[in-house]
Amino acid sequence: MKARDEVDERLLVEAAQKDPSRFADLYEHNFDRIYAFIARRVRDRYEAQDLTSEVFHQALANIKRYTYRGVPFSAWLFRIASNAIVDRSRRVNRERDVLMQQDPEDIQLQDSENHARLFQTVNGLPPDQRRVIELRFAEQKSIREIAEEMNRTEGAIKQLQFRALQNLRARMGETNG
C-alpha cells in the first residue's frame, strides 16, 4: 500500500512539473501534514497559515527543480517548512526554534502524520459534528457563538462536540489498529 502511494505521488509530482496547475493535487495530498507540522511549532494559527502558505508557494515555484530521491515528496515539503520556521523565528528574534530540536526528526514527522490523519478524520464526521469541531477548534468560537451560528441550543452544541470527539477517538483507534 505504501509503495503504491509512493508511485501515485511520483505521478502527481511529474504531472505538476509538466503542468503547474496540477500542483493542486499535491497540495491536497500534503496540506494537512504540513499545516500540522507548522502549527505545532508556531505561536498561533495566523502564523501557521502564513508559513503554510509560504511553504506551498515555495514548493510550487521550485517544483521543476525537485528530483525524486527515494523519499516521499512530503520530506521535501517538511524541509522547506523547517527552514521557513527557523527563518521566521530568527527574523522575529524568538527562540521557538528550540522546539524544533527537542524531538528527533522522525518523531516530529510521525507526530505530523498523526495530526494530519486526525484532521482528515474530522472531514469524515457527520456534517453537524464536523461543523462544530471546525467552529470550535479551527475557528476557536465559543459554544454560544456556535449555537447562534448553527441555530441550536448551547446544550445541543456541547453534546455534538462530545459525540464528535468520541467519534474521532473511535475512528483514530480503528485506523491505528
Footprint of another protein (CB under 8 A): 19-21, 23-24, 27-28, 31-32, 35-36, 39-40, 45, 48-49, 52-53, 56-57, 60-61, 114-115, 118-119, 122, 133-134, 136-140, 143, 155, 158-159, 161-162, 165-166, 168-169, 172
Least Å distance, CB 70 to another protein, is 26
State the alpha helices, DSSP H only, in 19-96.
23-39, 45-62, 73-91
* Distance (Å, whole) CA 42 – CA 36: 10
* Distance (Å, whole) CA 84 – CA 52: 9
Q: Is the alpha carbon torsion for 145, 149, 155, 159 positive or negative? A: negative
Least Å distance, CB 95 to another protein, is 16
In the bound state with another protein, the residue whose beta carbon lies nearer, of 69 and 137, is 137
Query: What CA–CA distances, in Å, run from 7 to 18, 49, 59?
Result: 17, 29, 19
In the bound state with another protein, the residue whose beta carbon lies nearer, of 152 and 158, is 158
In the bound state with another protein, the residue whose beta carbon lies nearer, of 19 and 174, is 19
